[in-house]
Amino acid sequence: MLHQMPVQPIPFGRSAHGRRDSQASSSSSSVQLPRTLAPIAASAPELVNVPLDYIRRRLRSEAPQMMAGLSSLAPSHVPSTLPKSHLPPSLSIPLRAPSSRVAPTYPTHVLAVSSSKSSHDSQAIMVPVHSLVLAAQCARLPELRTPNAAVSHTLYLPVIPMSLPSPAAFTVLRSFMYDHRLDGVLKVLFPVPPSFLANLSHSAVKATMSSGQALHQLSLYLCEASVYNLQKLTEYAAHVKDLWQDMVALGLFDTELWDTVDLAWDIVLGAMNLAVVMRQ
């Protein structure tokens, strides 16, 4: 349970491609994850003593209501980007009529996500979120206090600046934190056979990682889809790396997601090796 226990980081070493490395030392390059998620206390102090696994299970069961809440925001009043030097303290967003019969649970904040790697990128991606969804899954977050409720037909959401290595990759992670679909993560990184994505489960991911033949087939598919273009495959590798860096920066630890990113890295590296061989 989430009692008032001290935060004790767990060294989680990973090799350059993200696979767990039991030989890695607890150096500055290791991922340091706390045993409890402090953001819960800020986002929902009443849940501090509730077991984290229970909170996560409830959030999964309530995902349809939260997704309905996100879709209730009028798109024309949620800018996709804003200058990060001129962010408003909050956004006033009209609400649309729900598009489904599910009663919506409205988001609580808008994250203004900008790049931590580039000082030349002056724009921030605006991403509505439910603070508890992030707080239950990420160990490193800006403080997300005071969730807001709808007033009449308008929602007033605080704007919270946040810097990450890849703002674009964060939108992928945000989707996963709501729907937990592994196929949704893979298919935005690079081309994957539709038959493999159908009903993709964590057990299927692990089985594929342990099968040299299955990995080869997926790498070959990607290589052929990119027409053996090494530059294109390098771009796909960068997509995986961006996702991994954001996961580290957020302190997002989900075994299913980490294994899927490991699989993606193995596939793209295999495809790059095939492309090099074919060009010789």
Q: Determine contact, residues 259/205, Cβ cutoff 8 Å.
A: yes
pLDDT value of residue 28: 33
Q: Examine residue 230 and state whether it is found in any structural domain, yes or no.
A: no
Q: Examine residue 138 and state whether it is found in any structural domain, yes or no.
A: yes
How does 86-112 read in b/e, with b if 16+ C-beta sit within 10 Å?
ebeeebebebeeeeeeeebbbbbbbbb
Q: Examine residue 102 and state whether it is found in any structural domain, yes or no.
A: yes
pLDDT value of residue 149: 57
Taking the chain (280 residues) in runs of 10, the rounded mean pLDDT of each run is 29 36 35 49 69 87 93 86 92 80 89 88 92 91 69 84 96 96 96 95 97 97 96 96 96 93 96 89
Phi-psi region of 228 (alpha: psi -120 to 50; beta: other; left: phi over 0): left
Rounded CA-CA distance 117/252 in Å is 19
The reported pTM is 0.81
For 181, the enclosing helix (H) or strand (E) is none
pLDDT value of residue 38: 53
Q: How does strand 10-12 pair with strand 31-33? A: antiparallel
> Could you list the residue range(s) of the whole structural domain that residue 105 is in?
65-167
Q: Examine residue 121 and state whether it is found in any structural domain, yes or no.
A: yes
pLDDT value of residue 148: 56
pLDDT value of residue 12: 29
With a CB cutoff of 8 Å and minimum separation 6, the contacts of 183 are 197, 198, 200
DSSP character for 117?
A: S
DSSP character for 49?
A: T
Distances (CA, A) of 186 to 15, 192, 258: 20, 7, 12
Q: Examine residue 19 and state whether it is found in any structural domain, yes or no.
A: no
pLDDT value of residue 52: 81
Q: Determine contact, residues 52/2, Cβ cutoff 8 Å.
A: yes
pLDDT value of residue 257: 96
Q: Examine residue 123 and state whether it is found in any structural domain, yes or no.
A: yes
Q: How does strand 109-115 pair with strand 123-129? A: antiparallel
- DSSP per residue over 195-251, as a string? HHHTT--HHHHHHHHT-HHHHHHHHHHHHHHTTT-HHHHHHHHHHHHHHHHHHHHHT
- Specify the number of domains making up the chain: 1
Looking at the chain, which runs of residues are DSSP E strands? 10-12, 31-33, 81-83, 90-94, 109-115, 123-129, 150-151, 154-164
Phi, psi dihedral angles at 67 (to 5 degrees): -65, -35
Q: Examine residue 135 and state whether it is found in any structural domain, yes or no.
A: yes
Q: Examine residue 75 and state whether it is found in any structural domain, yes or no.
A: yes
271 three-class SS: helix
The pair of three-digit structure tokens given for residue 46, joined into one six-digit string: 């009443």
pLDDT value of residue 8: 30
